[in-house]
Amino acid sequence: MEHSRNVSALVASLEKASGLESRGRAYKKICQLAHKDAKVNSWKFNEWDYGKNNITLPCKARGLFISDDEECPVIVARGYDKFFNVDEVSYTRWDSIESNTVGPYEVTVKANGCIIFISGLEDGSLVVCSKHITGPRDDIDRNHAEAGERVLLKQLKLKGINSRDLGLELYEGNLTAVAEYCDDSFEEHILEYPLDKAGLYLHGLNLNEPNFKTLPMRAVTMFGTKYGFKNINAFIKDDVGSLKVFLEDCAVNGSFNGEEIEGFVIRCKSRDTGDSFFFKYKFEEPYLMYRQWREVTKDYITNKSRVFKFRKHKLVTNKYLDFVIPILDNDSRLCEEYMRGFGIIKLRNMFLQSLGMSGMEILNHEKVMQLELKNSIDYDKVDEHTKFLVFPIAVIGCGKTTTSVALTSLFPDSWGHIQNDDITGKDKSKLMKKSLELLADPNIKCVIVDRNNHQFRERKQLFEWLDELKEDYLPYDTNIKVIALSFASYDDLDKLKTLTVDRVLERGDAHQTIKVDQYGKAKVLGIMGGFWKRFQPIIEDKSPDNRFDLIIQLNSLQKDSSLMNVKTILKRLHDVYPILIPEIPSEESINIAFQKSLQYKPKMKERKVTNNETVSGTPKKKVRPAYFSVNIKDGTPIKELISNVIEKPSNISEDAQTILKNLLQNDNFQESFHITLAHVMQGKRGDPAEQELWKAYLKHYKKILKSYNDKEIPKLIETNDFVRFQPKMICWDDKIVSIVIKFPNDECVSDENGLLVTKLKCANKIPHITVARLQDNVKAVYSNTICKDVVENRDATNINHVELVDSPSLTGNVCINL
């Protein structure tokens, strides 16, 4: 038995995968067991790596706990292999399910709570885990694993069963019991679980083996009954045809047996291998509407604003707000509880009761549907009034501008082209303002918004600007189709790196911002390396990329790839939107337009000449730093700290966790992380100690600053001095995420020999890192406010915060920011 449980080969593969930089990277978390002096390692992967045909993961389990035993590791607890919704990936399309799976198809109602894994050790002691964490924790106030264990012990006591009996049966069967903890008093989700329905719903018994194997539902039901679990409704459909009819019938009402449910999980076998195969069928409504009500309520509580930009359910959501706003305005306690994740369902039910209808009855009510239709835009309608925006997703050297110029040359009267490098000033949204201003021209049908847009954050930003600004330039009922041009595919990244570097070096200074001859090869390679490091290819089923109406995948590796991409774009647009391109231009016209694009010369940005400079551009004025900082080159450890907070069960509210989950999922982090050591405003307007500290920094780095007097002044100078620090606490609200840090010594700067530099301290009373700004109008200085609030008023503050235990010691170089 022990030999069969040995998973040394799997552990070796996981350890190897943990060294990868990106695709397929594994993450390990060491957990102390609650009832035994032993540890287990929790393993996970990035969500977007599951389901990729070109990525082979060592194991697809979501929830994988392996004993911390180098000689003979065993799987202690194992979740299901990651499974997907119908049509979410290629192998969950109905035609693929019919071809590649065999019945019977076991259908189970999808519970709506938090996942709990239960397993046993050789001595019968229980191991209870949440999705990725087990054991005691002192950095949170809501431990899902501990809460799940309390409920488990309570149900065993009611049955008169010793917990050791359950532990031994799970151990001897090499099994993990998979349950959903549903309890509104602990954590509210979308579906309602009052006291009489609350508890652990058992829906799986998995074998603790690398390959996914799970017992049939009849065995799960018997086991659940024996140990006092709440059982999931389960039944069988013999074939795909009857299964599909049943699921689609239930989706019409969003319910099963008269109760609202989120959907179903379907279990069957792979036709080729006989392995367990899961997929799910989730209902869109009324849960989309319910989530929308939750979000507008939070927005009103936070901002006292009832402006929202959802495409659906505008009429009924406004009716909902009419009902709840007076209640919220007169009950501050309710508002506080709502933001902590409690009372959401109660408020929703109060509104539904006031109407005397269920959610689905509202959606299916003829009068409501008529009014919604009258007050909505048909976003699927494409006619002569439809406008188009094109967002490239690329990196430097992919040919996006060449392609854009060729397309606008083909249609000079109806296509426009706005380049981000032409936008000046601090207002970044000017890119969208200019694009919409051009699109508002009656003759213009399509505008290319030419920016790299190589991160989720940038694409999200474009969609937010579009939502916010559209009606300032165009009639409210104008339908805009947004098209993505994906120049760099996920599979071709390594080849593209080499190819684009060669193209940029060959181009020399023929670019608005990347000038090889002026900057030098090393600096240009550094700039491009930063782009590649930050590059996030399109993920069609994830926000914000799931908002594109059309994604056109291009190939930037071919010879004459820009010409080929122009042809690909024309064909796809003609096929999908013939109203935009009724007829594909002739080969001759395309070639002429492409040759014209090759002759295109961008406007070169020149540095302004002031009265203190010569015409040649040689600086004569003194170099004046804006601030001194500790710059963190590798942001991975910082992001992992955020990820760990989500993985660990916590007493922070679901909404607070959702903020961090969205941050990770959309990668909305600052482009780089730094700790401000001293700022020029502290030197000018600070107290005497701060002014003296600023003078000390200027004096220490005087030689470095002088060395730039006869050269072009860079924006940032990296020194050889460094600072050690340790992250101590994460603080966040819906506007900003920050990390409070601590230095080993008051004088925190060390020179290149490791010796402390006297007098160089941190001017900020609470040193911190601004991790992410979640709203465009929030300034980084707001980090000071929330960190100060938490540190000085920890027990009373409303700011979300989690103290970090055993966080790693990190280092960063001192940089001079000009």
Q: What are the tens digits of pLDDT across the range 255-297?
A: 888 888 889 999 999 998 888 899 999 988 888 888 889 888 9
Task: Please state, in angstroms and rounded to a whole number, the distance separating the CA atoms of residues 552 and 564.
Answer: 13
Helix, strand, or coil (residue 214): strand
Distance CA 297, CA 430 (A): 30
Provide the pLDDT for residue 508: 43
Residue 586, both tokens: 């002739």
Q: How many residues are listed for the chain in this entry?
A: 818
pLDDT in tens, 300-329: 888 777 766 566 787 788 889 989 999 999
Q: Is 631 exposed, middle or buried (0-12, 13-18, 19+ CB in 10 A)?
A: middle
Per-chain mean pLDDT for the chain = 83
Domains in the chain, CATH or no CATH each: 2-273 (3.30.470.30), 287-374 (no CATH), 387-598 (3.40.50.300), 627-817 (3.90.1740)
- Give the pLDDT score at 309: 59
Q: What is the pLDDT of residues 622-671, one digit of tens each?
A: 678 889 999 998 888 888 888 888 776 566 777 788 888 888 877 788 88
Q: Report the pLDDT averaged over residues 425-450.
A: 90
Q: Is the peptide bond before 544 cis (omega within 30 degrees of 0)?
A: yes
Q: What pLDDT score was predicted for residue 252?
A: 83
> How far is 233 from 246, CA to CA, in rounded Å?
15
Identify the residue with better confidence: 118 or 708: 118
DSSP track, 419-434: EGGG--SS-TTHHHHH
pLDDT of residue 617: 41
292 three-class SS: helix
Q: What is the pLDDT of residue 251?
A: 87
Inform me whether the pLDDT recorded for 504 exceeds 80. no
HSE-up (13 A, CA, CB side) for residue 7: 25
The residue with greater pLDDT, 319 or 228, is: 228
Which amino acid is it at 582?
P
Q: Greater confidence, 556 or 816?
A: 816
Give the pLDDT score at 525.
63
Q: Where are the beta strands (DSSP E) in 681-790?
A: 716-732, 736-742, 749-750, 768-773
- Can you give the pLDDT at residue 735? 87
Catalytic residue among 29, 60, 110, 648: 110
pLDDT of amino acid 695:
92
Residue with tokens 């930089």: 21
User: For 57-155, where are the E strands, in sequence order?
Assistant: 64-67, 75-78, 101-109, 114-120, 126-129
Query: Using 50, 70 and 90 to split pLDDT, how confident is the model at 522?
Result: low
More confident residue, 30 or 715: 30
Which secondary-structure segment (H or E) carries 307? none
- pLDDT over 70 for what percent of the chain? 85
pLDDT at 190: 77
Residue 558 pLDDT = 74
The pLDDT assigned to 614 comes to 36
- Rounded distance between C-alpha atoms, residue 139 and residue 26, angstroms: 24
Give the confidence band of 511 by pLDDT, cuts at 50, 70, 90: very low
Alpha carbon 734 to its chain centroid, in Å, reads 15
Strands 768-773 and 480-486: unpaired
Structure tokens at 409: 């040359």
Summarised one tens digit per residue, pLDDT across range 98-146 is: 999 998 999 999 988 889 999 999 999 999 999 888 887 654 556 788 8
Indicate the residue type of 464. E
> In the prediction, which pLDDT does 610 show?
35
The 8 Å CB, 24+ separation contacts for 453-456 are 453/391, 453/392, 453/393, 453/394, 454/393, 454/394, 454/395, 454/488, 454/531, 454/534, 454/535, 454/536, 455/534, 455/535, 455/536, 455/667, 456/536, 456/542, 456/543, 456/544, 456/545, 456/666, 456/667, 456/668
**Among 4-8, 152-156, 358-362, which stretch is predicted with the lowest mean pLDDT?**
4-8
Cα 779 from Cα 785, distance rounded (Å)? 11
pLDDT of residue 316: 84
* Consecutive H or E run containing 815: strand 810-817
- Which of 457-466, 506-515, 575-584, 681-690 comes out lowest in average pLDDT? 506-515
Token pair 């694409």 is found at 459
Q: What is the pLDDT of residues 593-629, one digit of tens each?
A: 999 888 776 554 443 333 333 333 444 456 788 899 9
| 679-692 mean pLDDT | 87
> 206 Cβ partners below 8 Å, 6+ apart?
78, 79, 80, 175, 176, 178, 212, 213, 214, 215
Active site residue 603: no
> What confidence score (pLDDT) does residue 138 get?
57
Q: What is the mean pLDDT of residues 325-346?
A: 89
Which tens digit of pLDDT belongs to each residue from 733-757? Answer: 888 999 999 998 888 998 877 788 8
Element (H, E) at 252: helix 240-253
Rounded CA gap, 265 and 256, in Å?
13
Q: pLDDT tier at 74 (50, 70, 90 boundaries)?
A: very high
How do residues 473-503 score in pLDDT, each as one tens digit?
Answer: 887 668 899 999 998 776 666 666 655 555 5
Where is pLDDT greater, at 775 or 529? 775
Can you tell me the distance from the alpha carbon of 141 to that of 652, in angstroms, rounded to the nearest whole number? 6
Q: How many helices (H) and strands (E) does the chain have?
A: 27, 28
More confidently predicted of 212 and 194: 212
How crowded is residue 69: how many other Cβ atoms within 10 Å of its Cβ? 15
**Helix 314-329 with 344-355: angle, nearest 10 deg:** 120
The pLDDT of residue 806 is above 60: yes
> Range with the lowest mean pLDDT among 26-40, 358-372, 630-644?
358-372
Average pLDDT score over residue span 84-106: 91
Cross-sheet strand order for the sheet of 415-419: 415-419, 446-450, 387-393, 480-486, 550-553
The pLDDT value recorded for residue 166 is: 96
* Burial group, residue 792, by CB count within 10 angstroms (0-12, 13-18, 19+): exposed
pLDDT greater at residue 535 or residue 65: 65
User: Nearest-CA neighbor of 248 among 282, 222, 274?
Assistant: 282
The percent of residues above 90 in pLDDT, for the chain, comes to: 39
Q: Please report which confidence band the pLDDT of residue 434 belongs to, taking 50, 70 and 90 as the band edges.
A: very high
Average the pLDDT over 359-387 and give the result: 72
